[in-house]
Structures are given as C-alpha cells and as structure tokens.
Amino acid sequence: MPSPFVAKLTNADASARMLKSSVATLGCAFLMVMAASVAVIVAITGEANRLEAERQGDRVDAAIESQVRLRELRFQSLAAAGDLQSSLAGPDPLMTLQTALAQIGNRFLEFDGAYIVSSSGIVFAGIEGGSPAGQAGYDALKHFSPTLPGASNVGDPPMRRLTDLRGMPGSASWSLTHDGVETISVMMIDMVARPGSLVSQLVGPIKVVGYRRVTNSNLADMSQRYRIADVRIVRDMPSDPLSRRAVPAADGSVKAWLSWTPDRPGDAMLRQFLWALAGVGLLFGAIFAFVIHRLRGAAHEIAIRESQIQRLAGQDELSLLPNRRTFDIRLDQELAQLRRSDAGLGSGLAVMLIDLDRFKAVNDTYGHTAGDELIRQVAQRLSRLVRGGDTVARIGGDEFGIIQTHGHFPAGCAALGERILASLTEPFIIMGVATTVGCSIGIALAPQDAIDREALLRLADTALYQSKNSGRNRFSFFEAQMNRSLALKRMVEEDLRRAIANDELMLHYQPQVSVDGATILGVEALVRWNHPVHGLVPPAEFIGIAEERGLIVPLSEWVLRRACMEAKHWEGIRLAVNVSPIQFRHKDFVVNVIRILDETGFDPTRLELELTEGVVVDDADAAEIAMMDLRAHGVGLALDDFGTGYSSLIYLRRFAFDKIKIDRSFLEYMETTGESAILVHSIAHLGRALGLRVCAEGVETAEQHRFLQAIGCHELQGFLFSKAVPADEIDRLLALDKPFAEALAAA
C-alpha cells in the first residue's frame, strides 16, 4: 500500500490536474461561445447590410422609373400638341419642315436635341441645344438609327422602361445606353402627316426623336433626392451585385454600369458589438492569463510532486532504500536478462533475504522511534557492503533483500553473507545506547535453484527459515531437503487443521502419584495424533508446526475441552493441561478457559494449568493480571520445567503458583553427576519453604524414587509409575480396590 505521504501527494496532484482541466475546459467553452457570438453577429449584420442594399436598389429602380415616367408624360404631351400636327399638314413641304423644326425647338427645350427622321433613317432636320443641329448631332442620332424603326425592346430589363402609346398619335420608348463616355436618354415619337399632304407624299411616315444626356449633375441630384450615396457611371463592373445596374448599348451589349455606395448599417452594428465583445474578451483574457500564470506555477509544483511520487512509489519512505515493488521489478529484469544469456558455471545471480534477530526487543524496549532509527542504520550499513549494480531493498518490517549480480557464485555470496553478519552484529547506537541485534540470512541462486522470481523468493525464504531454526545470526543456502521439509510441514499443517476440525486427535493421560507411589493424585493430559498415512506423529513435531502456523490456539482449546469432558467423572483427581505461551498471550485466553469450564461443567478447582517461565518473562504485567483472574475462578497454576530457564525467585514470589515441577533433565544425570542431585534437593527444599507443592518429572528408576521421597517431594510422575495411557486405562486404574503401587507391581 502507498504511504500516507504518497497518498496525500497523489490526491493534491489529482485536484490540481482537475482544476487545470476545468480551467482549460472553461477557456475552450468561452472561446467557442465567443466564436459563436461573432458568427451570429456577423450573420445578423451581413443580413442587415443585404436588406439595406436591396432597399437601396429598389430606390434606384424607383428613381429611374420616376425619371422615365416623367419623360414619358412630357413626351406624350408634346406628341399630342396640335400645333405640331398642324405644322406637318401644311401645303409647302419646306415650310412644313421649318415650321415643325420651330415647333420642336419650342416644345423640346428640356431635351438636349431633337430630330425629324424618316422611316428609312434619313435625317431631315434637327435642333441641337436649341440651335439647328450640326454634324455632331447627326452622328449621335445615327448611333440610334437601328433602333428607330418601331418600338424596340433594348437593354437590361431593370434598366429598360417601354411605354406603348398606340392609343395616341405616335409611340415613345426610353432606354439608357452608352456611347463612348456618355450615357444618353432617348425618346422617339411617330408623327403621321395628314393623308394627301405634301409631306406625306414626299417623305412618308416620319419620326421625331428627342434625347437627353445623363450627366453627373443629374446623378448627384438623384443621389440627393433619393438618399443614395455616390451614384455614378463606371465602365468596369462593380464587385457588389447589390449596388450595380447594367447600362446597355443600342446593340444590347453592356459597356457601362450604374453604381452607388450602399449604406451598411450592419457594419455599424458590428463595430458596436465587436467593441463590446473585445471588452469582454479582454476581461476574460486577463482573468484567463492570471489563472494560466497561477497554473504554470501549479504545473511546476505538480511536476516536482510527480517526480516525488515516482520516487516514493519505488522507494521505502523510512530507509530510503528501494521498496518491495522496485525489488520485484529489478529482480524480474535481472532474471529476464539471465534467461536471454547463457549463464555458465559461477555466473548468475543470488537473492538474499535478511531478517533482523532482535528487532522486536528493541521496539518493545525503546519504542518505535528507536526501531525506525535502527532500520535506517541497518539500511546504511547494507548499502555500503554491496557493489555497484547490486540492489539492496527493504521488503517489509525488519526484513531486507539483496539482489547480487556481481561476483563468483556461490563463493561470492558466502563472502557477502560473512560481511553482512560481521557488520550487523556490531553495536548500533540507538538513542545514545549501544544495541546489538544480529541477523539471519537465506540465500537462493539463479539459475541453479530457480529462474522464476516467485519461486526464487520462496526458496530464499525457506533458507532464511532454516537459518532462524539453526540458532540465528548465520546464513544458509537453499538445499533440496529444506524444500522437502517445508513441503512436509505444509502437509502436516493442512492435515492438522483438518484433524482439529474433524475431531481426529486423541488424548493420553500420565498419572501424577503421591510420593509413596500408592495413590493417583492427578493426571496430565497429553495430545496424540494418529495420522492416517504417516502413523503416530510425535507431539514435538506437530506442536511446533501448530505454533508456527497459527493453529496452537484452536488446538489448545480442543485439548482443554476434551480433557475436561473425559476427566469430569474422575472425582478427586486433578487435571493438568499444558498452556502454550502463544495461547496464554492471547487476549481472550482467560475468557476462553472459563467458557470451556462452563460448557463442560468441569470443577475449576480440579483444573491445573501448567505454564513455562517464558510465559511470564515476555510480559510480566499482563501475565500477572491473567493469573490473578484464573486463581479468582479457582483454577490452579503450576510452573513447569522449573530450573531450565531463568529460575528467578522473583517469579515465585510475584506470581501465585500452586506447584513447581522439577524438569526431567535433572533426573537423567542425577546418578552420575553430584551437582544435579544438589540442585534437585535445593529446588524441593525451596518449594516446601514457599509453601508450594513439588512434583518431579521423568522418574524412571527405584533409586530416583527413593531419593525424591527422601528429599521431600510431594508428587512424582514418570515411566516408573505409568506412561501416558488412554482415558479408559485411567478408568481401570482408578477402579482397582488395591493401592496403585500394588496394581503396578501386579502388572
């Protein structure tokens, strides 16, 4: 699991990244809104410009139509004038034409020129600017001669207006055309002389043609009157289709354009909107720039923190060494490289697992701060011992690992192991106190032992276990028999767990007799396991496995419950049950004992729990509380194996034991070694002096019996009287009428 510091950094960085992502999202959203707003505004203002341009185009068309209509009405009134008709009906053709010209001069003053033209296009006479027309007038009129016969439809429809005056004596048409650099407005009227008149006979049908030039002053007047800016005639086609009109020539081609500058209200709107948007954009930009500036600082901090996280994710926070994760990764890398190469004799790699021997004692004595300091100092010493390229890691608690890739194997491993033992057995100065711990080392080699990481670590752990069992402060290479022993222990563990659950164990009881050997005073319950495959498994083997694998508590509870049930009907007989130190240190030990007594109905005063000195040495205060609680319920307590441990008188004075048991090891050599006899005599005398019952174990000869009887022991136990037997055999012995000693002699 990651350390709290790494978790805090990770959470802080996640928050910073979330803030940065939120700001970026907000910025993108704002830009999108701004872009959409600009697009909408541009579309609205563009549509406003288009509508206004169309309205101005309509006004231009209306202005042209108004001018045309005015000319048409005026021309119609001239055509209907009676004096002009009368002048064409005179008897004298010459006088008739002169009179007509005079009439034209009078009537057509608002035109720049007027001519009398035959239907064949022959110009008879004309007036140009109020005077008889010269050559320029004739040339101008000839330009229109193709259009004169009949009422022609010439030009672009928006620029052309044609009025059919068939109901009047003549017809008129109008169009804009371009000649060189001039634009001319032309109107014509059919004048029919009276039938039989000389003009009619000589000339035939005639036309009167009038024209007027379109000048800049005319266009300026149109601009002012109709509020259209800059109306003008241009030769090149304007680019804006909404602000132009074609000016056709007489032959239908377009050689000039009427153009103007349209009003663009949308542009004014756009400028106002853009100023507002620019203000909002600048404000947001300033805020965004400030946030980005702050985020850049945060990003720099995040980068630093990320590097810290990467470092801490692969580093042990306390020792500053690589952690278990990094150790596994590097071991995988080294093994992969080893598989790719050919590992010859003496090459490969080694995995060392190192476990400190007295780390718990340092923690318990000086506190966790001292333990942390010890871990740091051990890490420093190990780092100085390995070569470059090797890996030292803390893989948990007080356990370290080394990947050794340089050196000759296994000799190089042994040399490194010796250096580690020598270094870690030197005193450490912890909180001003010199402390010695030592270590145990397990070594596995690749590819000799395994080539897979998990298998290699498992074998190294097996070798480490062997080092601890062999006395600690040593190193052990993995050997094949270790694996077989481990496999056997695992098998025993699984079968023992099943045997406890299925009630497949049994109890034997060894009698504890009076000093004269005549009476059974009590029995000691001893567990037996008859394995279905391996036969009778010695208690020394499976009791140790039960303690290692966490099965001792359920096993001890099973023994206590079964013993209470079977010994319940042995009235007056004390029941002795051994208590494991692990079981005694369990927080619910006393509660479980009382519960079992209540469930089985066994008399607490007949129960005697046998404790070893190790129980009270580890935690004297907790042991004293538990023992006082047990005695308050009437349960007796015996100090087992007395003389083999500390044998401190303080324990006998502080803890309320009822009995001490002299260890069998003293009786084994008592006949050959005088010191053993003295020690046994001293223990018995001490027990009697303190008011305790004294029981001697391992009595096997009559001489031992007589000696123990002479020194004043209260109880005896051993093969001389009986070995451990099943419960039904105890029933038989207790049912005998004669004393126990006689029954034994008879047997």
Q: What pLDDT does 97 receive?
A: 57
In a domain, 516, yes or no: yes
For the segment 186-221, what is each residue's pLDDT rounded down to a tens digit? 555 555 445 555 555 555 666 666 666 666 677 777
Q: Which candidate, 480, 472, 391, 420, places its Cα nearest to that of 444?
A: 480
Higher-pLDDT residue of 580, 210:
580
Q: Same structural domain for residues 199 and 303?
A: no
In this structure, what token pair is assigned to residue 468?
A: 């601890």
Q: How confident is the model at residue 231 (pLDDT cuts 50, 70, 90)?
A: confident
For the segment 103-153, what is each residue's pLDDT rounded down to a tens digit? 665 555 556 666 666 665 566 666 666 565 544 444 444 444 443 333 333
- Burial class of residue 228 in the structure, from the number of CB atoms within 10 Å of its CB (0-12 exposed, 13-18 middle, 19+ buried): buried
The residue from 261, 276, 298 where one domain ends is: 261
Q: Same structural domain for residues 469 and 572?
A: no
- Most confident range (mean pLDDT) of 55-59, 226-230, 410-414 is 410-414
| Interstrand relation of 715-716 and 693-696 (parallel, antiparallel or unpaired) | parallel
For the segment 607-646, what is each residue's pLDDT rounded down to a tens digit? 999 988 777 766 777 888 888 999 899 999 998 877 666 5
For the segment 493-506, what is each residue's pLDDT rounded down to a tens digit? 788 888 888 888 89
In a domain, 650, yes or no: yes
Q: Same structural domain for residues 281 and 254?
A: no
Q: Same structural domain for residues 472 and 555?
A: no
Q: What pLDDT does 480 receive?
A: 73
Q: Specify the DSSP class assigned to residue 194.
A: P
CATH classification of the domain holding 656: 3.20.20.450
The residue from 246, 261, 276 where one domain ends is: 261
Q: Which parts of 655-701 fold into alpha helices (H)?
A: 664-668, 674-689
Total domains, the chain: 4
Note every long-range contact of 196-204, with CB atoms under 8 Å and residues 24 or more positions apart, other chains counting: 197/88, 197/89, 197/90, 197/91, 197/96, 198/90, 198/91, 198/92, 198/93, 198/96, 199/88, 199/89, 199/90, 199/93, 199/96, 199/97, 202/93, 203/93, 203/118, 203/124, 204/118, 204/119, 204/120
Quickly count: other Cβ atoms within 10 Å of residue 143's Cβ. 17
CATH classification of the domain holding 424: 3.30.70.270
The SS3 of residue 396 is strand
What percent of the chain is helix, strand and coil (3-state, nearest 5)?
50, 20, 25
Q: What pLDDT does 137 receive?
A: 45
Q: Same structural domain for residues 35 and 76?
A: no
Q: How far apart are CA 516 and CA 588, in angstroms?
A: 40
- Alpha carbon separation from 542 to 103, 335, 496, 612 (Å, rounded): 151, 37, 8, 19
Q: How confident is the model at residue 222 (pLDDT cuts 50, 70, 90)?
A: confident
Q: How far apart are CA 297 and CA 348, in angstroms?
A: 48
For the segment 507-531, what is each residue's pLDDT rounded down to a tens digit? 999 999 999 888 999 999 999 988 8
- Most confident range (mean pLDDT) of 39-53, 260-274, 393-407 is 393-407
Q: Same structural domain for residues 606 and 713?
A: yes
For the segment 460-487, what is each residue's pLDDT rounded down to a tens digit? 998 998 888 778 889 999 887 776 666 6
In a domain, 746, yes or no: no
pLDDT above 70: residue 12: no
pTM confidence score: 0.47
Half-sphere exposure of 307 (CA within 13 A, CB side): 5
Partners of 132 in beta bridges: 127
Q: Same structural domain for residues 332 and 389?
A: yes
Q: Same structural domain for residues 207 and 295?
A: no
In a domain, 29, yes or no: yes
Q: Same structural domain for residues 221 and 203?
A: yes
Task: Tell me if 605 sits within 8 A of 628, measured CB to CB.
Answer: no
Domain extent at residue 101: 72-261
In a domain, 605, yes or no: yes
In a domain, 614, yes or no: yes
In a domain, 318, yes or no: no
Q: Same structural domain for residues 250 and 293?
A: no
Q: Same structural domain for residues 580 and 702?
A: yes
Q: Same structural domain for residues 604 and 722?
A: yes
Q: How far apart are CA 278 and CA 285, in angstroms?
A: 10
pLDDT above 70: residue 593: yes
In a domain, 494, yes or no: no
* Length in residues, the chain: 747
Q: Which candidate, 376, 391, 382, 450, places its Cα nearest to that of 422?
A: 382
In this structure, what token pair is assigned to residue 490?
A: 């695992």
Half-sphere exposure of 671 (CA within 13 A, CB side): 9
